[in-house]
Structure 1
Amino acid sequence: MKHDPYERLRREALQVLRPPQKLALSEWVEGHVYLPSSIAAHPGRLRLWPHQREIADSIGNPAVERVTATATAAATSGAGVKMGNLFGIASCDAAIGEPLVLVTEGVFEMPKVSTDDFTVGAAVCWRSSDGAVTTTASGNTGESRACRRG
């Protein structure tokens, strides 16, 4: 068999194009997030407690439809709530510091931007400034689908 001088180069180039390993969010956080000594009592690689791992791993898990978190702002039942990268609909009223259950899957009736015209299946986003649903993606949260015309 003839030696191909470009084989090693080809193999290394293809290795770069290989998609990254699939990791649970908690594994990624613990492998990539470092705390600087200027803000942390224990600087270095972030280590999550078991309950924090469960929370991190539930974010983005399509099987999780409800997430309970501590309210970082007052929430009203039925209103959209954004907490970091998590968005859901408050299932109850909650004051700051109280438990808040966010529903992350389902069909909800929400106010819309009056100038937007929705068609069934249209991409819609949530606007945090007034809690309305809009077809404008830029600067707004998430993407969902309209279930009825409006």
Structure 2
Amino acid sequence: MTPVFETVLAKYGWILIGITFGFAAKYAMLLKRGVQVKARLVFADLLLLPLVALIAYWMATRAGVEAEAAALFSAFSTVGADRLVKLLTDRFLQRVDAEAAAVAESIVGAARNTTQAELAAAAIKEAAREGRLHPEYAALKPHPQAPKLDG
């Protein structure tokens, strides 16, 4: 064996063993319940396996377990892959929705501030045009030689 293959097997071997046993256990449970196993179901589960392997590795690493315990984590992850992926997907989408709502709220707030500033500027210009400018805005009064503002 090559050194790279040995390294990969040493690091991820228990995860692969757990996924293999979990995959077999999942289909054994389906057969036991009388579910007819079709190629589509097997193919869909094979497509899920890389994600399940990542989840199992993450869980085992977070729990600080190695060897047989990591294999158990991955086997349980594989058996409950549908539920596990749905749970993590739902949590991810909730987080995305919350952040999208926060971004949208900040954009709406910025738009409201801009609109309010424009309305205030228009009111000040109108007051200057009509000569009822508040003394606080005396610096905004037009120069005596400046042309008059129209409409």
- TM-score for both structures, normalised by structure 1: 0.23
Higher normalized helix content (fraction of residues): 2
- TM-score for both structures, normalised by structure 2: 0.23
Higher normalized strand content (fraction of residues): 1
